Amino acid sequence: MQIKFEPNYTITPKIMSGLMRIETAKEKVLHLPLTPTVLRSLRETARLYTTHYSTMIEGNRLDPEQIEVILKHEGHFPGRERDEHEVKGYYAALAQVEQWAAAGTTVSEKMIQTLHALVMANGKMKVKPTPYRDGQNVIRDGRTRTIVYMPPEAKDVSGLMKGMVQWIGKSGELPCPIVAGISHYQFATIHPYYDGNGRTARLLTTLILHLGGYDLKGLYSLEEYYARHLGAYYEAINIGDSHNYYRGRAEADITKWIEYFIEGMATAFEAVLGRMAAADAEGASDQSAILRKLDPRQRKVLELFQEFETLTSRQIGELFGFKPRTSAALCATWVDNGFLNIVDPSNRGRKYNLSKQYQELVK
């Protein structure tokens, strides 16, 4: 049975101010001239810090340098195997979020269940969606072991998740940052799994923002803000008169949480401006004119051409999560409009390289 979800909140002046800051930073970032090479470097740093801070919130002990070693398969740290698994799982799930966002996929329960499976799968990309919990779980204080929050019973989880996903699909009139913040709160409230709820909630938030056009070129990390303001994070998300879901949590006024979330987004977006301006000041040439000729998918494919001189339609399809036929059709369109060249038309395993006018973008 689906349980209708109707969030209780008020749009305060603080929320409005935060939304304006987000829009201002977003507009400036989109027009700041940088090369694809510099963007790729900044994006990789953002991914690394997102993985570090999101797992650190859950108690992961690896620092960014150690995480980079693990993700590049350059070593491991004895006694930290669980931490390594968490890092690999989160990074893989983050890559899947970017694929879904690039493909414009609609949020569904299956996607959320797949995100959770990736979070728990030690870096494996082929996973089966995780069913929701079949029993009760509780959140306890790490020091005193007293119950901090008792989520809804297992019998209600499926209906609550259906209601949340349907609400996301019908919330188009709301600003995307508010939709993302409410969805984060509701997922944490339902707590549909025994473990991995926090990481999955943060990934769902990222997915909603990216789908709504708030990817900011993949350069920001909300997780860094949460980790640096962790006490406020828990205080804002633990709303209600009782630790029991059925005694006030479901109907609680979540305005305070939305204020916290919007402030975090605004802070993260403004931090990106600082990093990009610093990179620009180091002498990155302005290639914005030629970049503006490309659509978002073409700009994304430039990242692959920085690693490979030629690509197959399969590689391009894997970047976006497309089926082979869709990938082949996309490549054919790009050949027709002059973005790609066919390297060897007689070769059955057809490969493509960038047209000459775009090759300077990946040097």
Q: What is the CATH number of the domain that holds 161?
A: 1.10.3290.10
Residue 296 located in a structural domain: yes
Q: What is the pLDDT of residue 286?
A: 58
Q: What is the pLDDT of residue 299?
A: 79
* Co-location of 319 and 250 in the same domain: no
Tokens of 62: 């690896």
Tokens of 171: 């919330």
Number of domains in the chain: 2
* Stretch (H or E) spanning 338: none
* Co-location of 234 and 311 in the same domain: no
Q: What is the pLDDT of residue 198?
A: 92
| Residues of the chain below pLDDT 50 | none
* Co-location of 26 and 147 in the same domain: yes
Residue 143 located in a structural domain: yes
Residue 325 located in a structural domain: yes
* Co-location of 241 and 163 in the same domain: yes
Regarding pTM above 0.85, the answer is no
Tell me the CA distances in angstroms from 225 to 189, 239, 268, 303, one per residue in order: 20, 20, 7, 27
Question: Which residue shows structure tokens 């006030």?
Answer: 248
* Co-location of 276 and 292 in the same domain: no
Q: What is the pLDDT of residue 280?
A: 63
Give residue-wise pLDDT tens across range 235-273: 887 776 678 888 878 788 999 999 999 999 999 999 888
Tokens of 92: 């893989």
* Stretch (H or E) spanning 353: strand 351-354
* Co-location of 197 and 306 in the same domain: no
Q: What is the pLDDT of residue 90?
A: 93
Q: What is the CATH number of the domain that holds 311?
A: 1.10.10.10
Among 247, 280, 313, the domain boundary falls at: 280
Alpha-helical (H) ranges within the chain are 13-31, 36-57, 64-71, 81-103, 109-119, 154-169, 176-190, 197-211, 222-228, 230-237, 255-281, 288-291, 296-305, 313-320, 324-336, 356-359
Question: Which residue shows structure tokens 């993700």?
Answer: 71
Q: What is the pLDDT of residue 282?
A: 60
Parent domain of 355: 288-362
Q: What is the pLDDT of residue 270?
A: 92
Q: What is the pLDDT of residue 281?
A: 61
Residue 44 located in a structural domain: yes
Among 251, 280, 309, the domain boundary falls at: 280
Residue 342: partners with Cβ closer than 8 Å, 6 or more residues away: 335, 350, 351, 352
Closest CA to 60 of 30, 80, 35: 80
Residue 243 located in a structural domain: yes
Residue 1 located in a structural domain: no
Q: CA gyration radius for the chain?
A: 21
Q: What is the pLDDT of residue 320?
A: 80
Residue 4 located in a structural domain: no
Give the separation between CA 199 and CA 222, rounded to whole angstroms. 12
Tokens of 87: 């890092």
Closest CA to 335 of 320, 350, 347: 350
Residue 90 located in a structural domain: yes
